[in-house]
Amino acid sequence: MEAQFDKQGSSLSIKVTGRLDTLASRDFMTQVTEQLDNGIRDVTIDCSGLEYISSSGLRVLMTIYKRTTPIGGTLTLKDLTSQVGEVLNITGMATLFNIE
């Protein structure tokens, strides 16, 4: 998986491509945590290139959500692929996040 980060003030936009699976999730979470620790409140993830998300990937999204929500921030997922959207719907997680 590849992730491109664009920080604008307290907002972070991330474009992900590939598979957010067990192997990729650890590195991705490390990168995102570093940003969250440096004042990021709002995270937008462009999922148009995300081919697959595993339970580990879902855990990363939940962790971001749990870090941003208490401080008045948001997690927004945009341009979901049909497969990723289906996983979020089946797990009930689609109702937690802002989806564009």
Q: What is the pLDDT of residues 52-94, one digit of tens each?
A: 999 999 999 999 999 999 999 999 999 999 999 999 999 999 9
- Structural domain spans, the chain: 2-99
What one-character DSSP code corresponds to residue 21? -
Tell me the three-class secondary structure of the chain, residue by residue: CEEEEEEECCEEEEEEEEEECHHHHHHHHHHHHHHHCCCCCEEEEEEEEEEEECHHHHHHHHHHHHHHHHHCCEEEEECCCHHHHHHHHHHCHHHCCEEC
Section 34-45 average pLDDT: 95
- Prediction pTM value: 0.94
- Rounded to an integer, the average pLDDT of 27-31 is 96
Q: Which of 25, 59, 22, 67 is nearest to 43 (CA)?
A: 67
Residue 39 phi, psi dihedral angles, 5° rounding:
95, 10
pLDDT in tens, 41-55: 999 999 999 999 999
Topology of domain 2-99, per CATH?
Answer: Transcription Regulator spoIIAA (3.30.750)
What average pLDDT score do residues 35-46 get?
A: 95
Check residue 71 and give its pLDDT.
Answer: 93
